[in-house]
Copies of this chain bind each other. A is one copy, B any other.
Amino acid sequence: MEKVINVGIVGMGVVGTGVAKILLNQGRLLSERTGTRFVLKTVVDLDWERERGVDLTGVQTATDFEVLVTDPEIDIIVETVGGIEPAFTMVRRALAAGKHVVTANKALIALKGQTLFREAQAHGVELRFEASVGGGIPIIKSLREGLVANKIINMYGIINGTSNYILTRMHRDGLDFDAALREAQTRGFAEADPTLDVGGGDAAHKLTILASLAAGGFVDFNAIPVEGITELTALDINFAKDFGYVVKLLAIYRFSEEKLDLRVHPTLVPGDHLLAAVNNELNAVFITGDYVGDTMFYGPGAGQTPTASAIVSDLVDLAQIIQSGKPASIPTINPEKQVALFSLEEITNRFYLRLFTLDQPGILAQIAGVLGRYAISISSVVQLETHGEDNYVPIVLLTHEASEKAMSKAIMAIKEFPFVRPDILRLRLFK
């Protein structure tokens, strides 16, 4: 006999509407594959004037979230409101009321996950979040279940589609940052206020989630060093290209027994690495496990139907758990364990250093002298003859592995030179 799972959605924006579309249009396929009929019972939103492109005949519509929580027939609530409030209060309330919850809300899981997972545990329900990282890519499931036998050694994620679109246009077509951003906005790949995307905050939210899963305990979002792509110029992208690299905004996870090395920053990725071929608004997470070796998971990181596809996979998993009558034996993230992170100062990297200097003799020697004093060894240098508008010429250096602390000091010292312009850019190389 076919089993039934009743679903409620709060937040009928782009993603919530996508979930409704799948539940309404793909019902037969889901029922064939899972033996379960997923019924979209109630959808909650404040605005019922807007045309959503989905026929909600037979579905109860409401404006009050309590309708979902107090309906004993609703098995799972999908939260697609986004942002911290009122989403946090709603999810917490739903869990406390004994409802399983599925969300795509990365900020919520990254910043409030600890509280929410405790709430879920206390009430014997599940909080699922496959869509919160990598959109339609089943990356949470792959990490949590597919690679369950592995200690995760490294992860490198291209997990902000806006930034990747901008960087792709800069790399392929020589656009500068502002032009590429405007184009991303026009094409719907960037918000009117793109700060969270191009500043690295969104990627850091997602890294918090991936790292918490991989490490089996909570990571403090605020302890992750984050740098966005806003300082990158077309010139830098081109220099990197000439050196054989593609610049990508990477979310990085590097395991050590002592602490985790987590960060988000633009990174020079070797041109022949698979991550270098991940272009436009697409996402990918490259994961190395101690037994499996190198793997990569690629796909659309956002968008109505990919995100909804991930949410529905959570619904199917939860249906199985509900029908078995037992909680899942694989916990999501242990809310009682905190994982320590390295500060940026504690780690080493290979660096890309770009500066502008007046075109005078002996300048490169003086800069190299400063780097040498801080035990930073240069692996390549390019100094161009062409002058900028202001008589400054660019110099670009790639270094061997050096400490972040030493590099910060060296940059401060270099800035003291009267012939150096203050806009020195430091980037990091993939390792």
Contact = CB atoms under 8 A, between A and B. Distances in A.
Interface of A: 3, 18, 22, 26, 29-30, 32-36, 130, 136-138, 141-142, 145-151, 216, 272, 274, 277-278, 282, 284, 289, 291-300, 303, 305-306, 308-310, 312-313, 316-317, 319-320, 323-326, 328-331
A33 B147 contact: no
Contact of A36 (B149, B282, B325, B329): B329
Given A291-B308, A305-B291, A316 B330 contact: yes
A26 B151 CA distance: 9
Contacts of A29: 149, 151
Contacts of A298: 274, 295-298
Nearest to A322: B329
B296 A299 contact: yes
A284 B294 CA distance: 12
A23 B340 CA distance: 28
A138 B149 contact: no
A33 B146 contact: no
Given A299-B295, A329-B36, A142 B149 contact: no
7 contacts: A36-B329, A146-B313, A147-B313, A272-B277, A292-B310, A296-B299, A319-B329
A148 B3 CA distance: 17
Contact of A35 (B136, B291, B317, B329): B329
A278 B272 CA distance: 10
A34 B295 contact: no
Contacts of A313: 145-149
Contact of A146 (B141, B291, B320, B325): B141
Given A309-B149, A316-B145, A137 B323 contact: no
Contacts of A293: 136, 299-300, 303, 305-306
A292 to B, nearest CB: 4
Contact of A148 (B308, B316, B330): B316
B323 A326 contact: yes
A300 B323 CA distance: 35
A277 B125 CA distance: 42
A218 to B, nearest CB: 15
Contacts of A138: 141-142, 145-147
A363 to B, nearest CB: 40
A149 B296 contact: no
A150 B320 CA distance: 18
